[in-house]
């Protein structure tokens, strides 16, 4: 089998995936309720997008691992700590090489997140610190370097795709996609008028850090508003 990247997991893929999982407590096994693939009846999750000419039959624990840790396991294999091949609880999954790969579980399949993948060992405590740093406008790249993880892992934390259960007060997932250019123009004008970030955020239904990112030019730089200059210091909320 030729290694292949995991396709992008969109919101509806993620929702569809978890709908096929009997999610329980962290210590319990989470059964895969979806289809399985012969000959060894491995959990299979299919992503099909006709308009992209994409059809992939993916190993369900690999998806669970990727969603939870924000990193495609390839080239490592996803193995079970619980000896239950049908389980997709990410806390019961670990990475290993082929030698570990007994009756346990099989190929994560395929693909590339770079060698850093197996050093990815984020913990709840780290993720908490990462979320706080993100709120303080630390860049994704800096965090990826500090914690020795792939920058995609940080992005997924920022977007609320992974590590949702680690709660940090005031943190909400990065939501720049929801704003339109017209919104952003109005937001920049509001910032120019000196309105409070908190008020603007409330008006547009986004989090304060979204407004702060616009204010400091981290996002939406290309939307120009006469007189608007990104601020470099942290503004009052």
Q: Given the complex with Zn ion, which of 88 and 144 has the nearer CB atom? A: 88
| Residue 29 binding Zn ion, by CB under 5 A | yes
In the complex, what is the shortest distance from the CB of residue 176 to Zn ion, in angstroms, rounded to a whole number? 36
| Tokens 């059964």 sit on residue | 31
Residue 9 contacts by C-beta under 8 Å, 6 or more apart in sequence? 17, 47, 63, 66, 67, 161
Rg, C-alpha atoms of the chain: 20
CA distance 47 to 16: 10
Distance in angstroms (rounded) separating the CA atoms of residues 225 and 143: 31
Tell me if 149 sits within 8 A of 120, measured CB to CB: yes
Residue 27 Cβ, how far from Zn ion at the closest point, in Å? Answer: 9
Q: How far is the CB of 91 from Zn ion (least distance, A)?
A: 8
Which candidate, 145, 216, 165, places its Cα nearest to that of 187? Answer: 216
Q: In the structure encoding, which two tokens stand for residue 77, read together?
A: 């294999």
92 in contact with Zn ion (CB under 5 A)? yes
Q: Which is nearer to Zn ion, 81 or 136 (CB)?
A: 81
Q: Site size for Zn ion, by CB under 5 A?
A: 6
CB 79 within 8 A of CB 93: yes
- Contact between 131 and Zn ion by CB under 5 A: the answer reads no
Stretch that binds Zn ion, among 22-30, 152-160, 176-184, 190-198 (CB under 5 A): 22-30
- Residue 50 Cβ vs Zn ion, minimum distance, rounded to whole Å: 34
Identify which range of 27-35, 109-117, 190-198, 226-234 contacts Zn ion by CB under 5 A: 27-35
129 binds Zn ion (CB under 5 A): no
Q: What is the contact mask toward Zn ion in residues 49 to 88, using x (rule: CB under 5 A)?
A: ---------------------------------x-x--x-
The residues with which 46 forms a beta bridge, in sequence order, are 57
Contacting positions for Zn ion (CB under 5 A): 29, 82, 84, 87, 89, 92
């Amino acid at each position: 089998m030729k290694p292949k990247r995991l396709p992008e997991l969109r919101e509806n893929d993620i929702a569809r995936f978890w709908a096929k999982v009997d999610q329980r407590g962290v210590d319990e096994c989470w059964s895969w309720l979806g289809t399985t693939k012969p000959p060894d009846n491995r959990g299979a999750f299919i992503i099909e997008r006709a308009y992209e000419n994409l059809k992939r039959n993916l190993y369900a624990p690999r998806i669970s691992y990727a969603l939870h840790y924000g990193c495609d396991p390839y080239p490592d294999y996803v193995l079970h700590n619980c000896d239950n091949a049908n389980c997709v609880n990410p806390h019961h999954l670990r990475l290993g090489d082929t030698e570990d790969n007994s009756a346990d579980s099989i190929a994560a399949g395929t693909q590339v997140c770079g060698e850093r993948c197996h050093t990815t060992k984020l913990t709840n405590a780290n993720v908490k610190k990462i979320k706080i740093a993100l709120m303080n406008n630390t860049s994704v790249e800096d965090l990826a370097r500090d914690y020795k993880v792939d920058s995609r892992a940080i992005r997924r934390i920022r977007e609320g795709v992974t590590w949702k259960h680690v709660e940090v007060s005031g943190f909400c997932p990065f939501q720049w996609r929801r704003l339109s250019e017209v919104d952003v123009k109005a937001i920049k004008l509001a910032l120019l008028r000196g309105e409070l970030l908190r008020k603007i955020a409330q008006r547009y239904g986004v989090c304060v850090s979204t407004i702060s990112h616009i204010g400091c030019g981290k996002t939406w730089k290309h939307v120009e508003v006469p007189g608007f200059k990104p601020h470099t210091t942290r503004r009052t909320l």
